[in-house]
Structure 1
Amino acid sequence: MKCRFTVLLSCILFTFFFTGCQNQSASQTDSAAAEEVSALPATEEATASEPIDEPIAESSTVEEAEPELPPVKLPAAEYRLTIKYSSELLKNAVDGSNPDKTLNIYLPASYYDSEKRYPVVYFFHGLGLTPHTFYRDWEAFAQYMQADPDKELIVVEVDGRTVRDNFSFYVNSEVTGLWEDYVTTEIVPFVDENYRTIADASSRGAAGFSSGGFSCINLTLRHPDIFSCVQAISPGLLKDEDLPEALNGWNATPDFLTAYGRAFAPDPKAESLYNVPVLDGSPEDNALCEKWLDGFGHLDQKISDYLALNKPLNNIQIIYGAQDPYPLMLDGAKYFCELLEENGFDEPLIELQMGHTIPEDYIGTYFVPFFSSSLNFNE
């Protein structure tokens, strides 16, 4: 089955994104957002004077009128849940990460008034952020869920932070823990066992922003038996030949370098718990480069491995901002989309007039339409 995708414009810059989002106006900065601010890598395009935060960018490319939605009449305490989950798989992380994590769970309007089961979308936040995208825009989510009872779904935001609010990329690492297994063998079964879900891959999707955008792509390509569709906003995608340039930027960004190194080139015996390539061409260093490329790079291999599983995804959508301040984004995004198209995928890229941020009205304009058409809503 071919994957179905969408396109709008095209462009992106990059020294590499991952941490936070660029605010589009001072009016969007609030007390909750202030806790999420994190440093960008130093680049010629992104200066220290530029404010950083999560959502919400204006998008001049979407002209459709806003739908009239009914007012929210749902008590937040019953439909917007914060669940504490203690992981067995993260207990012995070498970096000292706390295995006690948080899940934000958002239930649809009809949840307590019916016996029906619902699809689930798992949302993965980025480095420097917390699982709070739908928390901050819960009223919009609740409105859209009430507007179309036939397309209601559950959303689960998964905490991906390691020690000192660093980041896991939701991958297995001998330093930070078995994060991929945590998601696929602990969290997904936990949600299916405790909530009325349609416990099938066709009714399970993934979404994410920034480094969480990479994470949802990676998890979905590796586990099409668990997820059937993915929507990624500003994900980390890197052409292999761009690693030296990317390292130049990452070396100036200690928080990202540490998180990425511990995830993809972990070394429990090293003082920093990871190793960084020096690009001297030696066999040992070349092998280390391969580990660093196992993250945002090796895109052709990722797609090849996915195809070998012979379980086609229903849909993929990648959203980027034309004003994203990280220079290598454009090449990585275009190359990844070219590889997808060569293998039967159709136009995966949406490009918007925004920076490194979540689009304005993300839930109504992008999230709900994509997953309404991509997931199976029949029990």
Structure 2
Amino acid sequence: MLPWSTELAGRIEQGVVRSELLRGNPLGDPHDRPIHVYLPPGYDEQPARRYPVVYTIQGYTGHVATWFNRMPFRRPYPELADELFATTDTPPAIVVYVDAWTSLGGSQFLDSPAIGRYHSYLCDEVVPWVDAQYRTLADRDHRAIAGKSSGGYGAMVTPMLRPDLFGALATHAGDALFEVCYQPGFCEIARTLRDEYDGSYDAFHADRRRRLHGTKDSDMDLIEMYGYAAAYSANPDGTVSMPFDDVGALVPDVWARWLAWDPVLMAGRPGYAEALRTQRAIWIDAGTRDEYYLDFGALAFRRALTAAGVPDQTVHFELFEAKHGGIEYRYPLALAWLCERIA
């Protein structure tokens, strides 16, 4: 558990994806996006060999450099992944660290008229860019996607939306079962808006632009909930409808738009259920003390897979003793499990 970086057995290359799909996005965020690509040990020594690929996507407020943050007594995931390939018989894979950060803190990896086309960017620009630059096994059966929290959400929904591209997934405490993980927070957000901003998100945004984010305790909760709404219930003109009113009560038609994106409910719809049945591997886990009750979301998604007819042998489901944060040690377990099935 050294407090400084260690030399990798493989190597990480840094590149830039120049996205035409993100050019001119509604938030004015950069359309040139950094990308980090991990190449496993032996990649350079075996020039004829091709590799499966695991795309790794981040949680809310995360960006590609966040993966390399080093906490006390902990090691960042890229080092843990490298150790996995260097010291075990796990089939080697290329691991791609994708950037989908926005000035709202995230995108949920969906296309949104309020944020930008981040789902299409991932599928139609990032994946082809990687396949063109590196010796990949460029087929959905050898391509997986993994993430935690909002990244776990993206890992659940992306293979449902694009089963032609992704044949395996791992979700760690991914956003799911929206009435449990999101709805309980609506009243507190409505109260905060009332007490600090006269009930107006416009007033919050105007205030936030004048100062450093995080200098008010409510900043994170407010921006995160707004970011979810911008992903799930944006309007064609780019405005954002919130799923609750000034007293925290549900706005039924807007809430229905959120539920349409809930992985638990999506899994029960014919096209998405069929997509899930084609997956080679599905890893689901969460901590039993998750502050957002995403352990319940994980269990509900697992049950939805069973109802959708996904074979039990395809799925690994596990609840473990932990909260929402500090679970990076779980990622190599899922990575090894995926690689064994997509190699």
TM-score over 0.5 for the pair: yes
Q: What stretches of structure 2 of length at least 5 have no aligned partner?
A: 69-75, 193-220
Following the alignment from structure 2 to structure 1, what is the Cα–Cα distance between the partners of residues 294 and 329? Answer: 23
Please tell me whether the aligned partners of residues 146 and 169 of structure 2 are also in contact (alpha carbons under 8 angstroms).
Answer: yes
1:20 corresponding residue in structure 2: none
1:337 corresponding residue in structure 2: 302
The alpha-carbon deviation at position 72 of structure 1 amounts to 5.5
Please tell me whether the aligned partners of residues 208 and 233 of structure 1 are also in contact (alpha carbons under 8 angstroms).
Answer: yes
Q: Does 1:111 align with 2:43?
A: yes
* 1:320 equivalent among 259, 283, 286: 286
AA paired with 1:290? Answer: A
1:162 corresponding residue in structure 2: 102
- Deviation string, structure 1 residues 12-36 (Cα, Å, up to 9, x no partner): xxxxxxxxxxxxxxx99x899xxxx
- Deviation string, structure 1 residues 279-316 (Cα, Å, up to 9, x no partner): 69xxx943211222233x26233442322458610111
1:97 corresponding residue in structure 2: 29
- Deviation string, structure 1 residues 66-110 (Cα, Å, up to 9, x no partner): xxxxx9664x7xx21121222100112112121121111100111
Q: Does 1:350 align with 2:318?
A: yes
Following the alignment from structure 1 to structure 2, what is the Cα–Cα distance between the partners of residues 299 and 140? Answer: 30
Which of 1 and 2 has higher RCO (CA within 8 Å, sep 6+)?
A: 1
Q: Does 1:260 align with 2:232?
A: no
1:173 corresponding residue in structure 2: 112
The alpha-carbon deviation at position 202 of structure 1 amounts to 0.8
Please tell me whether the aligned partners of residues 123 and 208 of structure 1 are also in contact (alpha carbons under 8 angstroms).
Answer: yes
The alpha-carbon deviation at position 207 of structure 1 amounts to 0.4
2:213 corresponding residue in structure 1: none
Please tell me whether the aligned partners of residues 40 and 94 of structure 2 are also in contact (alpha carbons under 8 angstroms).
Answer: yes
Q: TM-score, normalised by structure 1?
A: 0.70
The alpha-carbon deviation at position 261 of structure 1 amounts to 1.4
Q: TM-score, normalised by structure 2?
A: 0.77
Q: How many residues align?
A: 299
Structure 2 vs 1, CA of residues 184 and 151 (structure 1 numbering), >3 Å: closer, same or farther?
Answer: same
* 1:146 equivalent among 83, 86, 95: 86
The alpha-carbon deviation at position 318 of structure 1 amounts to 1.1
- Deviation string, structure 1 residues 245-294 (Cα, Å, up to 9, x no partner): 34235555211122111111123657xx31113369xxx94321122223
2:253 corresponding residue in structure 1: 287
Structure 2 vs 1, CA of residues 311 and 247 (structure 1 numbering), >3 Å: closer, same or farther?
Answer: same
1:301 corresponding residue in structure 2: 266
The alpha-carbon deviation at position 236 of structure 1 amounts to 0.4
Please tell me whether the aligned partners of residues 287 and 319 of structure 2 are also in contact (alpha carbons under 8 angstroms).
Answer: yes
- Deviation string, structure 1 residues 128-169 (Cα, Å, up to 9, x no partner): 222246543433322322335771100001111112x62111
The alpha-carbon deviation at position 219 of structure 1 amounts to 0.4
Following the alignment from structure 2 to structure 1, what is the Cα–Cα distance between the partners of residues 268 and 7? Answer: 41
Structure 2 vs 1, CA of residues 192 and 358 (structure 1 numbering), >3 Å: closer, same or farther?
Answer: farther
Q: CA RMSD in A?
A: 3.0
AA paired with 2:49? Answer: K
The alpha-carbon deviation at position 117 of structure 1 amounts to 0.4
2:241 corresponding residue in structure 1: 275
Matches within 5 A, 1:1-379: 74=9, 79-114=11-46, 115-132=48-65, 135=68, 136-148=76-88, 151-163=91-103, 166-240=105-179, 244-249=183-188, 251=190, 253-267=221-235, 269=237, 273-278=239-244, 285-295=251-261, 297=262, 299-304=264-269, 305-309=271-275, 312-326=278-292, 328-345=293-310, 346=312, 348-359=316-327, 361-364=329-332, 366-375=333-342, 377=343
The alpha-carbon deviation at position 211 of structure 1 amounts to 0.7
Q: Percent identity between the aligned chains?
A: 24
Task: Decide which moves more: 311-320 or 212-221.
Answer: 311-320
Structure 2 vs 1, CA of residues 285 and 104 (structure 1 numbering), >3 Å: closer, same or farther?
Answer: same
Q: What stretches of structure 1 of length at least 5 have no aligned partner?
A: 1-26, 33-70
Instruction: Give the SS at the match of 2:21.
Output: coil
